[in-house]
Amino acid sequence: MADEEPGEGLVPGIDDPGPLGAVREGMPVRDSTGAELGTVAAVKIGDAEAVTADGQRMSESYGLFGRIRQEAAGPEPDVEAELAELLLREGYIKIKSRMPLRHGRYAGAAQIAAVRDGTVTLSVPGDQLAREA
């Protein structure tokens, strides 16, 4: 065991979620151009090895009151079914806009370039992110 390399034997997306694992709610989010998009409203660590997204919905991990609030808001991620399936398997963050009345956006785990100094930086411009329905 002493000869193992750091990270050896870890399952990507589960044991080693990459930069997504360092993301916390409330962190500011910047896109690849440096524009501030808002703050992290939710973080979902996915299972990239999963064949389907069954069992990946966020509401399943909430307590009673969290489930009630989640049911009132609707299932996450609130995007078309095929994209929701991908985001649930890959993992994602939901970004709450700084502008009132704007819909949230979703960035998949693969779109997170870095998490440094309490800020999430994406590898894509904000206009390429999935928008909440």
- Can you tell me the mean pLDDT for 66-82? 71
pLDDT at 74: 63
Q: What percent of the chain is predicted at pLDDT more than 70?
A: 67
Question: Which bin fits 55, alpha (ψ -120 to 50), beta or left (φ > 0)?
Answer: left
| 75 domain residue, yes or no | yes
CA distance 3 to 24: 33
| 123 domain residue, yes or no | yes
Q: Supply the pTM of this predicted model.
A: 0.73
| 5 domain residue, yes or no | no
| 12 domain residue, yes or no | no
pLDDT in tens, 93-121: 999 998 877 789 999 999 999 999 999 99
| 73 domain residue, yes or no | yes
Task: Give me the domain span that covers residue 98.
Answer: 18-131
| 101 domain residue, yes or no | yes
Domain count, the chain: 1
pLDDT at 52: 53
